[in-house]
Amino acid sequence: MSTFNLEAYLSEGVREIVQGILKTTLKNPQASLFMMKFAKISQNAEKLRQKAELCGEHIPPFLIASITEDCNLHCSGCYARANQQCHDKANEKKKLSVDQWQNIFNQAADLGISFVLLAGGEPFVRKDILTVAAKEKRILFPVFTNGTMIDQQYLDFLAVNPNLVPLISMEGNMVTTDQRRGSGVYRKIEEAMKSLKNRGNIFGVSVTVTSKNLEEVFSDAFINEIKERGCKAVIYVEYVPVDGSSKNLAFDDDSRTIFERKLNKIREHEKEMIFIAFPGDEKESGGCLAAGRGFFHINPYGEAEPCPFSPYSDTTLMNTSLKEALRSPLFLKLQNAGNLLVEHTGGCVLFEQEAEVKALLERTV
């Protein structure tokens, strides 16, 4: 029986994403030129990860960084707010400084990490951090945004920093999106997409998929609409319930089967766009990719967490290098104890093991 090769799986995934984005930018010379340069950079990053692997060190190609806890919207069912990682009140807890974030991004590039997904809160409230991220050209920064803050100044900023790629969050059509995000948000998203397209900026959308909007967000009407607006990438994020009352929105086995079938079909037919599922097919990837296997999460306070949906940490980047954080005792316990391989019904295997993760954390501190 062949042994699953995680490094090869992840590196192949990076190559597919880069090639997919490159194909979608062929009609945009400026964006295409940048992606051709980045394709070479990502090849060098892969060599760094392979070299580390030979020395017994596993470097994931992705990170998720929540650079702020602030947001200008109050979306229904927001996991970040339910988890107290996004709120309106000032928090006395010390946050990472702009210089510290810049250092983290530089460390990531030196290790061979190719993608840092910027999240929040709303990342566009922190232009200072986006500015230092943009300077690290060895990394592509998808920015998960609600799209309402992309004004003329930001359009100019994004035009000269193509390694920042906005991923605008939406739930489907106007009714579905405004129902969750607030009246008028969809219209603002439309305007942002129109402006980005007119400027030639690369952008995509992020869609939280539930059992209720599954059919809608894979419909021809929805896909054609966002394609006409210039969208080049779609990230489908499986819904993770914020509490027991919303568990019915998470996928069951039947919903996940339908989701996978629709995703494969749309990838076959829509060649001008790239479609990514998160967390993705865990069976294909040998288990959940959190806790440093494929990525981990850094919160605004510098704490290294398995993933945004499992906000527990025994390591802080306030006084620890990124390389050391990858050897977090909690991460290693989760990897070695088999927690990442457990069958689950929701969108996140660790979310359903909250008690087990807390118990492992107590043993590391």
pLDDT in tens, 258-312: 998 999 999 998 988 999 988 766 667 778 889 999 999 999 999 999 998 889 9
Over residues 192-251, the pLDDT tens digits come to 999 999 988 999 999 999 889 999 999 999 999 999 999 999 999 988 876 666 778 888
Give the Cα separation of 346 and 253 in Å (integer).
Answer: 9
| pLDDT score recorded for residue 1 | 36
Q: Give the whole-number percent of the chain exceeding pLDDT 70.
A: 91
Its pTM surpasses 0.85: yes
DSSP 8-state secondary structure symbol assigned to residue 132 = H
Mean pLDDT confidence for 88-105: 87
Mean pLDDT confidence for 88-116: 91
Determine the 3-state secondary structure of 292 from DSSP.
Answer: coil
Which tokens sit at 122?
Answer: 């709303």
We find that the CATH architecture of domain 6-364 is Alpha-Beta Barrel (3.20)
Give the Cα separation of 262 and 343 in Å (integer).
Answer: 22
Cα–Cα nearest to 95, from 65, 67, 119, 70: 67
Q: Is the pLDDT of residue 322 over 60?
A: yes
Distant-in-sequence, close-in-space partners of 324: CB < 8 Å, separation ≥ 6: 315
Alpha carbon of 6 to those of 74, 257, 286: distances in Å?
38, 24, 8
Q: Is the pLDDT of residue 113 over 70?
A: yes
Q: Do the beta carbons of residue 129 and residue 103 sit within 8 Å?
A: no
Q: Do the beta carbons of residue 127 and residue 155 sit within 8 Å?
A: no
Dihedral, CA of residue 308, residue 314, residue 319 and residue 323, to nearest 10:
-70
Mean pLDDT confidence for 57-62: 96
Query: Residue 142: what are its φ and ψ, rounded to 5°?
Result: -65, 130
Q: Is the pLDDT of residue 69 over 50?
A: yes
Q: Residue 245: how many CA atoms within 13 Å on its side-chain side?
A: 3
| pLDDT score recorded for residue 84 | 62
Give the Cα separation of 82 and 147 in Å (integer).
Answer: 21
